[in-house]
Amino acid sequence: MELNENLRKKLSRFMALVLRHKPQTIGIKLDSDGWCDFETFLQKVQRSSPRWHKLTAENIHTVLEKCNKQRFTIKDGRIRANQGHSNKGVDLQFSEITPQEDLYHGTSRSAWEKIRQSGLLPMQRHHVHLSADLDTAWKVGKRYDKDPVILKIDVPGCQAADIKFFISENDVYLCKHIPPQFIQVFKQN
């Protein structure tokens, strides 16, 4: 199957939906570490829609190679999303880390109003996602608002309050909650 950029992005989004949130969409089960058999995944995606009927293993590998966010991993004949799960049965064991750099979070102006009150919460996910890269935070925020708000996390303050940070395989920083006193606006248009 030939994957142009638009179709590749649609496949990546569909894979994220299935491997992070709704595996039942195509009738697969994820283990507690988020893995499923690659061949089964491929076959179920092919059967899920006429759009994906001719999908190949190479197409999925292309999505992995072309996605600079490294959202997925294929290993030992299995596939999984690296983080971002909302599926209750999945509990990835991330490595705890002490960040040595500033961390940022991109969000919308309307979400910022809520964050001011309650801090950063994982919402439907297992963790809050943070970035050490301003450009990444900006791009994430742009998904939700044309003029996103970039938040800077007081990492030393969080650590003094015993807030634990973790890191995913694709270098996304994660934590359970960032209270509002450890958040400041870095950039707002």
pLDDT at residue 53 is higher than 90: yes
9-26: per-residue pLDDT in tens? 999 999 999 998 999 999
- Cα 106 from Cα 152, distance rounded (Å): 9
| Helix or strand (DSSP H, E) at 97 | strand 95-97
Domain boundary among 81, 105, 140: 81
**Inter-CA distances, 134 with 104, 122, 128, 148, Å:** 7, 20, 16, 12
pTM: 0.69
pLDDT at 85: 74
104-134: per-residue pLDDT in tens? 999 999 999 999 999 999 988 788 999 999 9
Say whether both 140 and 104 belong to one domain: yes
- Cα 16 from Cα 162, distance rounded (Å): 31
pLDDT band at 188 (very low <50, low <70, confident <90, very high): low
92: closest CA among 81, 103, 76, 105?
Answer: 81
Q: What share of the chain is helix, strand, coil (3-state, %, to 5)?
A: 40, 20, 40
Please report whether residue 89 resides in a domain. Answer: no
Contact status, residue 55 vs residue 45, Cβ threshold 8 Å: yes
For 36, the domain range is 5-81
**Inter-CA distances, 64 with 24, 25, 103, 171, Å:** 22, 21, 25, 15
- Can you tell me the mean pLDDT for 80-88? 80
Say whether both 103 and 64 belong to one domain: no
Number of H helices, E strands in the chain: 6, 10
Q: In percent, how much of the chain has pLDDT > 70?
A: 98
Strand pairing class (165-167; 95-97):
antiparallel
Mean pLDDT for the chain overall: 91
Please report whether residue 58 resides in a domain. Answer: yes
pLDDT at 22: 93
- Give the residue carrying structure tokens 């799960």: 85
Say whether both 46 and 73 belong to one domain: yes
Say whether both 35 and 61 belong to one domain: yes
Say whether both 69 and 130 belong to one domain: no
20: closest CA among 130, 178, 129?
Answer: 129
Torsion of CA 110, 116, 120, 122, to 10 degrees: -50
pLDDT at 93: 77
Say whether both 75 and 105 belong to one domain: no
pLDDT at 171: 84
Contact status, residue 42 vs residue 52, Cβ threshold 8 Å: no
Please report whether residue 86 resides in a domain. Answer: no
pLDDT at 180: 97
Contact status, residue 174 vs residue 94, Cβ threshold 8 Å: yes
Q: In a 3-state reduction of DSSP, which class is residue 20?
A: helix
